[in-house]
Structure 1
């Protein structure tokens, strides 16, 4: 299991209890202190560090975000990040929660063009969010620019839908509509693979 950071919508003790101790949990450095007790197999990673699991290589990479579990109490005591997976010459990148920054270019320079990029589009600045929110969350247009800089061969946007609509503009799918509009406006050449909530795809 791969985790990006401690925020409750990404790191759920209830979900960890359901998964159980049979899995290996890959965490950014310092997050093991926040795992529930019970004999879990944990591997902590620093940015740009690597683990091998059979033919699969797992890399923790930077994200432009922050980390805490308690409001104003434990800010950034643990690392956060995204994950890049390599297997049989193919790469998959999960950005985690992140704002736009030069770290996308740095990742591409280190690993080359990415085959599949999972980039967040829904949790961004709007009239519902404070001004600093876009600093740590990509807008749909930010995600498109990041996809170009990462050399994404396919971009899968995530974060929109009925469970997260309040993080965007107006409705559950307004971030997706904004993404499609901005794809044309920016003349983005990165192909999009659009999934509805609950959809799965074999890649």
Structure 2
């Protein structure tokens, strides 16, 4: 019996190792030449990328056990009782659009931004589950998307904040790769795109505070306080970031994933004020307070950024923590009202413009 159990464990370990090493979902690995480039970054030490502040990334065994039990125990209202209906948008509406800057939120952190007659996708996660296999994650809250990924027209640029599954999805990249002119990522994330068939000439990797011109737009890779990794042994092997998106007359901010820290004020002082800021608000827990923000911190981050309007993101699509699915939006709208911060809360798929802000109470769709 003992030998049988040991043999079964060895077979299980072998299957896991083969799956991680052979499945394309886990992405690529940096070459020696790429690693040499990373060593020139101030954010790269001892073979890994690091946060500016000392951040604890590993939970204790007790916290890990508590977290797993809490996640699988079935906490009340962590998932909507009914399917979230989304607003639809069609391909021609996107392809033929030539008007002022507009946004479409796909839930969680995915955005379609149309600015200066260009279409930009941010963290395009269109998959059903933020995991390497559908059996390993909780399904998206909405059965449909505002538009099926196959129906999306030509995309001018894609911005990616980091390589976690809820932000960088293998299936989405494979479906998009022949529609996208150029991908922009933090250092290291490009190796995954290359492994998935994206030509190196269509990928630009940036370090924090680096800028790149894309036609008449300017993209800035700015700091975040988080981490990265898709497999068992690649934690912090790629960089994570936020993004600044600028035209001659407009200035936008996208936070990616981040705990609250002084980088928001640094970004606000250097690149603010912002017309609009999309800021993480969801998937938080007291056991990982440094890598995800609580809703009240989201509002403070918008103030640090000098944002004229802010929108809470990283909620409304997936269960990745133990709080109720509406806790983020309820707490952030309450704090925004208290601090007199202009907040946007559009429905998933709703087309919205920055200069047509509505009262929070009129768009409390949740």
In 2, distance between residues paired with 1:173 and 1:196?
Answer: 13
In 2, distance between residues paired with 1:76 and 1:166?
Answer: 20
Query: Is 2:221 the counterpart of 1:47?
Result: no
In 2, distance between residues paired with 1:39 and 1:136?
Answer: 30
> Which structure 1 residue ranges, 5 or more long, are not aligned?
none
In 2, distance between residues paired with 1:50 and 1:159?
Answer: 25
In 2, distance between residues paired with 1:201 and 1:4?
Answer: 22
Q: CA deviation at 1:86?
A: 0.6
Contact 2:177/2:198 (<8 A) preserved: no
> Which structure 2 residue ranges, 5 or more long, are not aligned?
1-157, 355-366
Contact 1:122/1:168 (<8 A) preserved: no
After TM superposition, the score normalised by the length of structure 1 is 0.89
Cα deviation, 1:14-42, whole Å, max 9, x if unaligned, reads 10111123421101111111223424311
Q: Which is richer in helix? A: 2
Query: Is 2:219 the counterpart of 1:58?
Result: yes
Give the 5 Å matches for 1:121-132. Answer: 121-125=281-285, 131=287
Match of 1:136 in 2: 291
Query: Is 2:163 the counterpart of 1:6?
Result: yes
In 1, distance between residues paired with 2:238 and 2:320?
Answer: 27
In 2, distance between residues paired with 1:31 and 1:82?
Answer: 14
In 2, distance between residues paired with 1:168 and 1:25?
Answer: 33
Contact 1:121/1:160 (<8 A) preserved: yes
Match of 1:178 in 2: 331
Of the three residues 159, 163, 175, the one matched with 1:18 is 175
Contact 2:284/2:292 (<8 A) preserved: yes
Q: CA deviation at 1:53?
A: 1.1
Flag the 1:66–1:39 CA change in 2: closer, same or farther, 3 A.
closer
Structure of higher CA gyration radius: 2
Q: CA deviation at 1:122?
A: 1.1
Of the three residues 323, 329, 333, the one matched with 1:169 is 323
Query: Is 2:344 the counterpart of 1:193?
Result: yes
Query: Is 2:264 the counterpart of 1:104?
Result: yes
Contact 1:104/1:150 (<8 A) preserved: yes
In 1, distance between residues paired with 2:208 and 2:273?
Answer: 19
Match of 1:146 in 2: 301
Report the count of equivalent residues: 193
In 1, distance between residues paired with 2:290 and 2:196?
Answer: 34
Q: CA deviation at 1:189?
A: 2.3
Contact 2:276/2:307 (<8 A) preserved: yes
Partner secondary structure for residue 167 of structure 1: coil
Name which structure has the greater RCO, CA cutoff 8 Å, separation 6+. 2
Q: CA deviation at 1:181?
A: 2.2
